[in-house]
Chains A and B, each alone.
Chain A
Amino acid sequence: MQQDRIIRRLLPALLVAALFSLGLTIGHSTKTVAAAENNDAPGSQPGIHMVSALPNGQWTLPAGDYANTRFSPLHQITTENVKNLHVVSMLSTGIPHGHEGQPLVVNNTMYVMTPFPNNLLALDLTKPGTPLKWTYKPNPSNRAVGIACCDIVNRGGSYADGKIIYATLDDNVVAVDAQTGKEVWKTTIGDMNLGETTTGAPLVVRNIVYVGDSGGELGVRGKLTALDLKTGKILWRAYNSGPDTDARIGPDFKPFYKKDQGKDLGVSTWTPDQWKVGGGTIWGWISYDPELNLIFYGTGNPGTWNADLRPGENKWSITIWARDPTTGYAKWAYQVEPHDAFDYDEIMENVLVDMDWGGRPRKLLIHPGRTGYVFVLDRETGEVLSAENFVPVTWSRGYDLKTGLPNIDETKQTHLGRVAKGICPSSTGGKEFVPSSFSPRTGMLYIPAHNTCMDYEGIQVNYIAGTPYLGASVNMYPGPGGYQGELIAWDVAKAKPVWSIKDPDLPVYSGVLSTGGDVVFYGTMEGWFRAVDAHSGQILWQFKTASGIVGDPITYMGPDGKQYVAVYSGVGGWMGAVAFPSISTDDEYAALGVTGAMKKLKEKSAPGDLLYVFSL
């Protein structure tokens, strides 16, 4: 039965692959797709090609690869033997706060970046119990704790050129010698006095470090900063609002849609000066396509949440960018939602894959976002090829692929002094920043999703530098069907779900890992770490970790030649912060409105601070 289904699903792809091999496909796609084959994993479905080298034994980048697939070809752990998985090693960080992100594994050393105070711990994987080699302490300023909107999280780092590079909450990027733990350089990239913090994981491409910023709830003006890998010197900045020069928009800028074309839209789509406190921060994930030589990333919500205070489309908030990694100049941009009125950040991962689409191979960018849609874009041009919802959506009724615009439901549009009810998804989105994973062996995207809706009222807000600049009263609650979380296996080619695992009480708020063994790993906010069959969604194994999981699993080869899987267990972040003693469940509006939806978290998970390592 299952095999039949798979073959049926594969048929179109098989046909295209056959044509392709006969040399019948034409155009530049052929050339580029063929080149990408070098990265393919065994068992990849015909017509699917990987864009960048997959992690094979190590884990040196936040997502394991440039393309953000979070797919590892390692296959010692299979659907057959995963039931024998055991915890083999653990490490506390001593910081019972949200443990987002993932460790790195390089040269038989594991690197753990903790929540604030953002210590970097190096563990020697060659020794029993993986003892600490060293701890690097950046000693960040406490000032950052008070201005971080959603817990004191950190989403990890990158390894490059013998250095571990990550960002600290107090707006520094540090490069630490991976061998010795000595600081190589440290660069200040933001200003806490303006409410800026840094939580995203930097990505390194060749000799440049890319890092965004956080603080969309405090009137921060979002930007991407590029630093020299050797020295930490700032090379350029690309802002998400303001004139074209600030946004690094030049003659090469070719947005696909008319709505994104024009001069200085980062100024003209705002009322005067509002763009200076307009949000559009970059606190999620960055992707890179080595062949097109483009980086891709999304921008966060416009500020304030009260949309009436900022008439206009508010570019370039909630936008996906393609940029030249060397110059920072934009190749294209696609604003996912103009004039957002729901706090829909679109800083989520952009998964890059070459696939057959509409009968021909195309270079795709797949973006499952807070809006509740899976967007499939042509990453060469920024054209939207598909936008189908993966969770219940009420704020709009689909996308017009001709204009690139959502068909917004005006009754759900939020305004100052008016409570708009039944908006789905809520501000926390159909999914959060916690990243999905794509397996070329199944053609499926595994999406950690939530089914949360909200009532939303815009309120007056005044800007005071370095303080919350929110402007909305938000109350969240479980969406239609009453369940809260869902791991969704999404068939990218068919743009629809294949299977899902629902969580009745809590959102799925962990990243996902898929592997060459066809085992998909993810965690629940209650603390279950699960292995499921990539094809069928059958739960093959689970282990109850000590706290809710909001981290992203990784896998690597140990020095003993065995495959290991690692994940953090430590609830926190925006939705997870409800587990903290400092957040009262009596206040439904607490934690930026999520408390109403998260009442069960307190009884299901205590804060924690652990790294778990599993193996057979």
Chain B
Amino acid sequence: MNARLRPILIKLGSMRLTLVCLGFLMALVFIGTIAQVPMGTYEAQKKFFNSFLVYGKIAGFSVPLYPGGLAIGSLMMVNLISAYALRFPYRRKQAGVVILHLGLIVLFAGQFFTQLLSTESQMPIEIGQSTNFSESSRRMELVIAGMSNSDHEDVTAISEDALAREGKIALPGKSFSIRVNKFFKNADVRMAGPNENPIANRGVGLKITAGDQPPVATDDQNNNTSVYIEVFEGGQSLGVWFVSLGMGAPQSIFAGGNEYSIAIRPIRYYYPFTLKLKEFRHDIYPGTDIPKNFSSQVHLTDNETNESRDALIYMNNPLRYRGHTFYQASFGKNDTLSVLQVVKNPVWLTPYISCVLVMLGMAIQFLTHLTGFLKRKNENASA
């Protein structure tokens, strides 16, 4: 190995670095847990654990104060891999150590890829109804749907991130384009007073003023994501609309001789199969209101694979189908609505593999210790 690289690798793989990482991670976990009280789990998770640096405000400036979960995690991976390269004793007596740390690598890598690849969404279904899509519970999109005469609807969706950048957005295949004049993560919407001039000059926005309010912190509230958009056709402005999640019905615009509806709604994920809710059960223990069981009986129909069957989804027993997992998450409307959590995570098996490896490694390691210790003890006793 390169003589100049080796000392660096030795440092990177050192036990001291392990301790530093563990110490920093402990403190981060502690702070990140306490911070969930004011921030809510979701926001705290983003700020502390799914980040490279944790920023804080000092004198009005946002400055990095502490390494985030991703930074510490990456350093621990480097530490582990360097230790594998240089330090680990590949002897039979130490086989446990080697196996158990391999398990840790699988675990970390698995969580990293989960972060990257997995999506979570919700699928509310009412009894008797069918659906083939689920909705994100946090991320929104602006949807422009053509009401043309053709059989299927032509839908253009613009994600929240694109809206947040504000400015012009071209719409491929459309005769018009839009410009986001203002994006609100969480808008405070009021009826406009007599002396206020609404910014919008079309649609519902004519009677409304909107202001920024801080994004909600707790996990059970939603942000009222809203935008002012201006529609342009052939270089001419067709007007400014105010579109908001809080408005139930979509608004209409006329452009290029067609009518389009615009609305903000949760991002949708479509599936090549449908689920129909046949029955929802919410059992309680007799004489109490303690829930005993929630379960949804669904009928799965997939024309591509020619499958059509019933499935029972209940607590601790999800339905896994074509890379998606459907969990019983919530319910509503007097027990006539069941909400399924839909998760797509291609690396969901990694924790299972990791668990086996680490347990095996630890068991080998500690049992070697223990037998050695008891042997010595017996020798001492008989001596």
Real binding pair: no
B residues sitting closer than 8 Å to A (CB atoms) are none
